[in-house]
Amino acid sequence: MDDVSRILRAINQGDQMAASDLLPLVYAELRRLAAARMARESVGHSLQPTALVHEAYLRLIDAKDPQVWNSRGHFFGAAALAMRRILVDSARKKQRIVHGGGRRKIDIEKLELADPNDSEFLLGLDESLDRLAKTSPEAARVVNLRYFTGLTIREVAEAMDVSVRTVNRHWVFAKAWLFKELSGETDAAEVK
């Protein structure tokens, strides 16, 4: 049993001090995952990888809402979901009227280079992932781990404790399902 699994077990058994021992062990990996995810965000995004890691960690180890961690993979899967929720909350906040209702500040000199509004996509993706989770929870979990934390196929397989081939199958299905969902395409069979 590795140190992370041992500390997660201690947290599950109510050891309050174990949570402080966990952060140094998982910080570098969480920071790498957050940095990979944040690299895909638009340039004007105000949330930094360090802040994302800290917020996700606080949500995971919140004493008011104790969680049980079955394994290292379970912990990192929950971290992926926490990061997703934080990014979605941030996107929703940007869409509020008080914050400009989705308007973006554009440098007139760089008008032709302006990035598309990422928060609309993120909100649509979040809603679509919730629907995908009802159809195929495993495929939705793969998307969370791949898209929101930047894990490789092999890392996802380890986190989910399944084969690489299984993860590939879920990933291909999820990408096709999400493309159809987000692009608004319909099958000929659905039109009839």
Separation between Cα atoms, residue 102 and residue 27, nearest integer Å: 33
140-178: pLDDT as tens digits: 999 988 888 788 899 899 889 999 999 999 999 998 888
Local confidence band at 65 (pLDDT 50, 70, 90 cut-offs): low
How many domains are there within the chain?
1
103-145: pLDDT as tens digits: 555 443 343 322 344 677 778 888 889 999 999 999 999 998 8
Q: What is the mean pLDDT of residues 46-57?
A: 81
Residue 154: give the domain boundaries.
Answer: 3-102+116-185
How many Cα atoms sit within 13 Å of 130 on the Cβ side? 8
Using the predicted structure, report yes or no on whether residue 48 has a pLDDT greater than 60.
Answer: yes
Average pLDDT, the chain: 76
Q: Provide the pLDDT for residue 116.
A: 40
Local confidence band at 55 (pLDDT 50, 70, 90 cut-offs): confident
Q: Determine, yes or no, domain membership for 179.
A: yes
Q: Determine, yes or no, domain membership for 108.
A: no
Q: Determine, yes or no, domain membership for 135.
A: yes
Q: Determine, yes or no, domain membership for 133.
A: yes
Local confidence band at 63 (pLDDT 50, 70, 90 cut-offs): low
Q: Provide the pLDDT for residue 31.
A: 84
Q: Determine, yes or no, domain membership for 126.
A: yes
Q: Determine, yes or no, domain membership for 161.
A: yes
Q: Determine, yes or no, domain membership for 76.
A: yes
Q: Determine, yes or no, domain membership for 54.
A: yes
